[in-house]
Amino acid sequence: MKVLSILLACFSTVAFAQPGLPQTATIHYPQESHLKNVRQLTFGGDNAEAYWSFDGKKISFQSNYLQWGLTCDQIFYMPVEGLDLSVKGSRPPMVSTGLGRTTCAYFMPGDKTILFGSTHLGGNDCPKDPGRTPGGKYLWPIYNTYDIFVADLKGKIKKQLTQTPGYDAEATVSPKGDKIVFTSTRNGDLDLYIMDIDGKNVKQITKELGYDGGAFFSPDGKKLVFRASRPKTEAEKIEYLDYLKEGLVAPTEMEIYTCNVDGTDLKQITNLGKANWAPFYHPSGKKILFSSNHKSARGFQFNLFMINEDGTGLEQITYDGVFDSFPMFSPDGKKLIFSSNRNNNGTRDTNLFVADWVD
């Protein structure tokens, strides 16, 4: 039996097969008490990083669904209500160019344009994935052709926000509509940066050696939550820098961090080991939802967990036997969207699900 695991948020959706993990036709597990009225939105391919529009009526997401004519991730948007993608031949509007590889789409204020990272200026083809050698580490490519663009809902590029050499991607927008946070290698490391909504006044936020990425703003726009790796030994630091020189990162050991939007008051929230990532603030601003494989003996099962902002009160939220990740609360805090391998009929497909949230 072959199944799908995906790493990682604001990473391209990369599948690798592992035997022996359970497949079910379940959409909602009995233990998932925080979820109600779970509904499937997509029905094939790898669909991930679905993020709400400011009005809470639409989502942006990335997909590599072959039946939509795709060879690697491209950006789409769709209404949460009224479009049935289970109907054969149905496809949501594509916002990206269809060239290169894309990642991390996010609605801009006003919901008329969408922000996303794309490699299309570096070539028409999908950039090569490094794959995984037998017994080797899972490696993710840091394509230096990624830049951040804004397109309208018809797919016309309206603006290029980054033009610095190197990797610029993983961008998300503050709920206040005034700032954008993103990850860049412009200083030789993978750090967080903030810029104004028009791309001006870029400021570096994190400065410690290691990968910082997948950042989101708190509901009040005053804090950031993100994933980070922190190589500690000299051997780990050398390995990290050597991979980075090759345009690679090994994202299998990460914890959740928070800081103020100016980089002050940096705090490590989790200390669970393995891969903790895809964090998003609970509407209260006091808790954080994230994906983790820390309870998995072999590391292949990812579920959603919730933790207090001070690192206490860890609680498991989802219970799929393979993969749950990319959680995001709707602007009103009443719904949650996430990606999962549940109900995929034993395939490798990862689909989008939306649910009512119950505190």
Residue labelled with tokens 């630091």: 237
- What are the pLDDT digits (tens) for 189-210? 999 999 999 999 999 999 999 9
Per the CB < 8 A criterion, the answer to whether 134 and 109 are in contact is no
pLDDT at position 24, please? 61
- What is the rounded distance in angstroms from the CA atom of residue 1 to the CA atom of residue 20? 6
pLDDT at position 342, please? 97
pLDDT at position 5, please? 36
pLDDT at position 142, please? 95
pLDDT at position 104, please? 96
**Which of 58, 62, 59 minimizes the C-alpha distance to 74?**
62
Segments in the chain below pLDDT 50:
1-9, 12-21
pLDDT at position 86, please? 95
pLDDT at position 10, please? 57
Contacts of 7 (CB under 8 A, 6+ apart): 14, 138, 140, 251, 252, 275, 277
- What are the pLDDT digits (tens) for 317-342? 999 999 999 999 999 999 999 999 99
Tokens matching residue 5: 């695991």
pLDDT at position 286, please? 98
- What is the rounded distance in angstroms from the CA atom of residue 264 to the CA atom of residue 204? 12
Go through the domains of the chain in sequence order and give each one's CATH number: 45-314 (2.120.10.30)
Neighbours of 242 (CB within 10 A): 10
Per the CB < 8 A criterion, the answer to whether 75 and 68 are in contact is no
Tokens matching residue 325: 């990740």
